[in-house]
Structure 1
Amino acid sequence: MHAVRHGRIEMAMIEEGCWRICDASMPPDDPRRVIAYIESDDDGVDVLWLSGDRRPARYGTLEDALAAADARVVTAPGEDRASRPVPIPHFPPPRAASVLRTKGRAAPPSIEA
């Protein structure tokens, strides 16, 4: 597969009329590198975005689609990139919390058999 690079955008032909658009600043083995797939026909160019606003888009020419891809990469570096999840604070179960408050103990009471 032959790829053509333009700034941070890399365009690789998949087959006639179909290309993969990548962010060339990302490592080659990073799945976030692929930002869109483009298909062209006689009426224009269809783009399936894989990051940001993921709705399909239609452009008049391949150059317009590439300009949109370039704008997405340049104006929003790091936006919509995968990252570690936001930690959720852990709270004890409601019963254990009420026991701890009323008895002033550091641990829940043991269950008697």
Structure 2
Amino acid sequence: MPDNIKKGDRVIVDPYIYCGHCYPCSVGRTNCCENLNVIGVHVDGAMQEVVTHPAHLIHKIPDNVPSEMAPLAEPLTIALHALHRANVKAGEYVAIIGAGAIGLMAALSARHYKQRLF
């Protein structure tokens, strides 16, 4: 287990196991790893009492983050990344397609940045 995590801590497990050696990994694009394995897709899942996983892919949830908010971190970062890449300014219109977690986070983020929704 990582040094900063002890038994009983709340954690998030990154399910994307990357090699760290291929070109995408070498430039920080581990999500594009040529040897990527995803838990529950390429390797057995985690629906069991005991799971082993690479320590660097286990992240402690900060104490100030409520348990019900922690799972929203991933869809929120995707939504924010999309809005930043689109370079939409305050007052401009943005169309969000999809009402799943990412779409909802994008809508909330757009409102926060004072962007107008279709």
> Which structure is higher in strand share?
1
TM bracket (short chain): under 0.3
TM-score normalized by the length of structure 1: 0.24
Q: Larger Cα Rg: Structure 1 or Structure 2? A: 1
> Which structure is higher in helix share?
2
TM-score normalized by the length of structure 2: 0.23
